[in-house]
Structure 1
C-alpha cells in the first residue's frame, strides 16, 4: 500500500520502506536507526535488525511501532531514520546483494 498519510493507533505496528535505495560497497556496512524526535513521541521506527549488510543494494524495511497512548500520524516522505556508515577491515566475501535472496527483491 502506498498511502500518503497513515494513522498509527496505540500499540499498532506497520511495515514501511525507505524511499531511497541503499547501495553499499562490499567494504562498507551501515546501521539504521530511528531519529530521536520520533522516539520522544513514543514511536519506534526500526525495531530490530539495524545492520545494513556490506554489499547491500535495496530499500530498507522499517518496523514502525506506536508505543504511545495516542494515535500518531505519519506522512509519506517523513525523515524518520538515519544511517551511520562504517568501513570494514576487508571486503565481504559474500556481498549481500549477490547472496541475499530476499535482498534482491526489495
Structure 2
C-alpha cells in the first residue's frame, strides 16, 4: 500500500520515518514527496584498459572509488548521453520498526528533458539511513544544467507486510557523499 501525503506527514510527525531537512509543504504530491539535489557530483575518471567485474568473488564497490572524482559545485552540466552520480540533500531514515520501505523515482518534468535519476536501483529498504544516491543519465539530445537545491526526484513510501528480521545491512548503509577530489 502506497502512503498518501497525509500518511507521509503523519509518519514524519510520529518519528516513524525521518527526512532531514524536512521538506517544505509544497514538496508533497498526493502520494510522494520531492527531494532536492545536493551540490556533490561524482564522475568516472577515464581509465582505458580497466574492466570492472562486479560478479567476481571479493569485488567491492569501495575499490572503485579510486576511479571516481567528486566535484562540489552549485551547478553541474550533464552532457547528452553522459552519466553522473549525485545525492539528495535530504538524509532519509526508515527504521526497521516502521513497517515501511520506499522507492526513489524521477519527476516527469526532469524525465521529459531526458534525465533519468536512477538506472535500476529505486529501492530504499527498511533499515536504511543516509542521503539517497542518484545514478543520473542524460538520454536527451541536449546538455542539461543541474542546480544544487533543485527538486530532482520523488520518494514514494510503501507499507511492508510486517517488520523484517534483517533490516538493510548492505554496502550503502550510512552512505555519504565523498569530499571533492
Structure 1 match to 2:130: 58
Instruction: State the alpha-carbon separation in 2 of the partners of residues 103 and 42 from structure 1.
Output: 29
Q: Which runs of 5+ in 1 are unaligned?
A: none
CA deviation profile, 1:34-80 (whole Å, cap 9, x unmatched): 10101111111112110100111111110111111111110001101
Matched, 1:11 2:81: yes
Match of 2:117 in 1: 45
> How many equivalent pairs are there?
104
Report the CA distance between 1:101 and its aligned residue.
Answer: 3.6
Contact 1:28 1:55 in 2 (8 A): no
Aligned mates of 2:137, 2:120 — CA distance in 1: 11
Gaps of 5+ in 2: 1-70, 177-181
| Contact 2:131/2:175 (8 A) holds in 1 | no
- Whether the 8 Å CA contact 1:34–1:44 is kept in 2: the answer is yes
Q: Which gives a bigger RCO, structure 1 or 2 (Cα 8 Å, sep 6+)?
A: 1
> What does residue 154 of structure 2 align with?
82
CA RMSD of aligned residues (A): 1.1
**Distance across 2 between alignment mates of 1:92 and 1:103:** 16
Structure whose residues are more often helix by fraction: 2
Bigger Rg, which one? 2
Structure showing the higher strand proportion among its residues = 1
When normalised by structure 2's length, the TM-score is 0.55
Q: Which runs of 4+ in 1 moved over 2 A?
A: 99-102
C-alpha separation between the residues in 1 aligned to 2:171 and 2:95?
18
CA distance in 2, matches of 1:25, 1:87: 12
1: distance between equivalents of 2:137 and 2:171?
Answer: 26
